[in-house]
């Protein structure tokens, strides 16, 4: 009987601690990345609430959505972070699932290749050009670039499978 009572008490204590911890932890889970191209801003969201924001750089031709391979534009629409890798050239990189079905249909209708390999990544590791040189400059081929400290933080907070919305 004592074991049963002790077990019951431990269960109640365990449940009360879990319920205290769970809401706070759930609020901190990044469930969406929002990029607003016109503001050069990336926000990490949890349940629609911003947790953190970062300044980003875009493709060399930042206005308008990506239409084809080589247009140097950053896509607009809904995508997923679907895989990641360490990059010799750009520190860490997270792949954005461009092109989506809409992008593929648009490119097919125009008879052009949609392109691909759009990444969220850091800045070049280059002795000739320090990191500050790239900050505030739209310099990518269509990717979204961040400072290396920022991409390391985003890498640790965002899981593969996270939705990324890129707005004009």
Concerning whether 121 is annotated as a catalytic residue, the answer is yes
Catalytic residue among 9, 95, 135, 143: 143
**95 part of the active site:** no
Q: In terms of Cα–Cα distance, which of 14, 55, 46, 11 is closest to 151?
A: 55
With H, G, I as helix, E, B as strand and everything else as coil, classify residue 168: coil
Nearest to 59 by CA among 124, 142, 120: 142
DSSP string over 88-120 = TTTEEEEEE--S-HHHHHHHHHHTS-----EEE
Catalytic residue set: 121, 143
């Amino acid at each position: 009987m004592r074991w049963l009572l002790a077990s019951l008490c431990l269960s109640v204590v365990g449940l009360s601690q879990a319920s205290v911890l769970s809401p706070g932890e759930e609020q901190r889970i990044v469930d969406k990345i929002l990029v607003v191209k016109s503001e050069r801003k990336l926000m990490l969201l949890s349940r629609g609430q911003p947790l953190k924001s970062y300044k980003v750089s875009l493709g060399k031709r930042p206005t308008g959505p990506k239409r084809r391979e080589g247009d140097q534009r950053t896509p607009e629409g809904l995508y997923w972070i679907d895989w990641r890798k360490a990059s010799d050239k750009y520190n860490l990189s997270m792949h954005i699932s461009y092109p989506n079905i809409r992008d593929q249909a648009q490119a097919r209708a125009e008879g052009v290749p949609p392109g691909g390999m759009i990444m969220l990544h850091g800045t070049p590791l280059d002795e000739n050009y320090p990191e500050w040189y790239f900050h505030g400059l739209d310099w990518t081929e269509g990717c979204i670039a961040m400072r290396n400290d920022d991409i390391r933080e985003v890498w640790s907070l965002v899981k593969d499978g996270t939705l990324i919305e890129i707005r004009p």
